[in-house]
């Protein structure tokens, strides 16, 4: 959900929750620094590729190395694989690769656009967005690509595939009530429940690892900011409070930190902050667009 140069929907995909969009620090050695690896998409090689970096911003590794556009990485729960979207076969499809970039394999194949994959925490399913039915819907499939099922089944545009930690529910944004709001539904699409209700746009929900909170993006204060709320929608709090665009939140595996995208230094970079919004620090330093981060606890896989 974000982006704007290319389909910087791969940059602002977040922002335009109406068109095909996509949409997921810092600071090494910072207080409360969580371990693991962060995957993200970046245009630093002239096209979007999937990279990984350590959580202190060192050891960048290009995993995809392909002339096509590769977007929106999502780690498998054990850190052994990454799902992503690529247009290398002429249209956006969902792919899976090993954590070192080997074994890149398409697991969807249809005339529509498939993108923004999200691995379920139990490792059995991958949710993704698809336009194969004429509008943007949420699909779920088995991790091998079988059993692709439309679970949103709504004429509105859906955006977002945020799994609950128990893999029982999915948080998403939808304009089915005339405005982009955050909903949750069961993983089979039943019982959709609205969590936010205001005139602004709310999108890009992501569940905290303990299931207690949902981080999301909202422009209710005049620009895109990161918010957090209780999982029932109560106590919605602005975490970033910055005049620049802040997008794509992703929790650290221990729930102590959030990696996100910000334009506060003039271009789109990855930042990290504590889960309460304190100690916001820049992770990447590149004139290219660094976007859609996802954090795994696994520390192996990349050639660091």
Four-residue CA torsion sign, 65, 97, 52, 262: positive
User: What proportion of the chain, given as a percentage, has pLDDT over 70?
Assistant: 87
How much is the pTM? 0.90
Cβ neighbours of residue 243 under 8 Å, at least 6 residues apart? 223, 264
Q: Are the C-beta atoms of residues 300 and 54 closer than 8 Å to each other?
A: no
Q: What integer pLDDT is reported at residue 28 of this predicted model?
A: 31
Run of H or E residues at 126: strand 125-130
Kindly report, residue by residue over 217-229, the tens digit of the pLDDT: 999 999 999 999 9
Other CB atoms closer than 10 Å to residue 153's CB: what's the count? 11
Mean pLDDT of all residues in 144-159: 95
- Output the six-digit token pair for 178: 């005339």
pLDDT at 173 over 60: yes
Neighbours of 29 (CB within 10 A): 9
What is the pLDDT at residue 300? 56
DSSP 3-state of 261: strand
Confidence of residue 87 (pLDDT cuts 50, 70, 90): very high
Phi, psi angle pair for 84, to nearest 5°: -155, 170
Indicate if the pLDDT at residue 4 is higher than 90.
Answer: no
Domain borders along the chain are: 39-296
Dihedral (CA of 237, 76, 253, 293) sign: negative
Instruction: Please count the residues of the chain.
Output: 304
Question: How much is the pLDDT for 35?
Answer: 79
Phi first, then psi, for residue 274 (nearest 5°) are -65, 160
**CATH architecture designation of domain 39-296:** 6 Propeller (2.120)
Q: Is the pLDDT of residue 31 over 50?
A: no
User: Above 70 in pLDDT, residue 238?
Assistant: yes
Which pLDDT value is given to residue 34? Answer: 61
Match 């389909």 to its residue by tokens: 7
Mean of the pLDDT values across residues 252-273? 96
DSSP per-residue codes, 124-187 = SEEEEEE-TTSS-EEEEEETTS-S-EE----SS-EEEEEE-TTSSEEEEEE-TTSS-EEEEEET
Residue 295 has pLDDT above 70, yes or no: yes
Longest dimension (CA), the chain: 47
Write the pLDDT tens digit of every residue in 189-216: 999 999 999 999 999 999 999 999 999 9
- On the question of pLDDT at 30 being above 80, the answer is no
The tokens describing 179, both together, are: 């405005």
Q: CA 44, CA 41: separation in Å to the nearest integer?
A: 9
Residue with tokens 């981080």: 215
Quick one: what percent of the chain has pLDDT higher than 90?
84
Among residues 161, 116, 163, 158, the alpha carbon closest in space to that of 133 is found at 158
Beta carbons of 258 and 278 less than 8 angstroms apart: no
Could you read off the pLDDT of 104-136 as tens digits, one per residue? Answer: 999 999 989 999 999 999 999 999 999 999 999
Q: What is the mean pLDDT of residues 159-170?
A: 96
Q: Which two tokens stand for residue 235?
A: 């106590």
């Amino acid at each position: 959900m974000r982006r704007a140069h290319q389909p910087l929907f791969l940059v602002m995909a977040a922002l335009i929750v109406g068109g095909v969009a996509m949409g997921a620090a810092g600071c090494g050695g910072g207080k409360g620094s969580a371990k693991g690896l962060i995957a993200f998409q970046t245009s630093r090689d002239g096209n979007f590729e999937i990279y990984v970096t350590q959580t202190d911003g060192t050891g960048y590794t290009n995993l995809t190395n392909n002339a096509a556009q590769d977007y929106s990485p999502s780690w498998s729960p054990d850190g052994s694989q990454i799902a992503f979207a690529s247009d290398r076969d002429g249209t956006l499809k969902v792919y899976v690769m090993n954590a070192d970039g080997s074994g890149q394999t398409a697991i969807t194949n249809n005339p529509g656009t498939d993108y923004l994959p999200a691995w379920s925490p139990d490792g059995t399913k991958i949710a993704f967005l698809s336009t194969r039915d004429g509008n943007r819907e949420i699909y779920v499939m088995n991790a091998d690509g079988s059993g692709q099922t439309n679970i949103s089944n709504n004429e509105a545009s859906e955006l977002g595939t945020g799994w609950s930690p128990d893999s029982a529910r999915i948080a998403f944004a939808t304009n089915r009530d005339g405005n982009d709001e955050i909903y949750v539904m069961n993983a089979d699409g039943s019982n959709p429940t609205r969590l936010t209700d205001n005139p602004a746009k709310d999108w890009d929900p992501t569940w905290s690892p303990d299931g207690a909170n949902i981080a999301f993006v909202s422009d209710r204060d005049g620009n895109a900011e990161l918010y957090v709320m209780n999982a029932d929608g109560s106590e919605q709090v602005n975490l970033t409070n910055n005049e620049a665009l802040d997008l794509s939140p992703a929790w650290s595996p221990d729930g102590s930190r959030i990696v996100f995208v910000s334009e506060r230094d003039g271009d789109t970079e990855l930042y990290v902050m504590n889960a309460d919004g304190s100690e916001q620090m820049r992770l990447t330093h590149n004139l290219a667009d660094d976007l859609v981060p996802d954090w795994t606890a696994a520390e192996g896989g990349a050639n660091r």
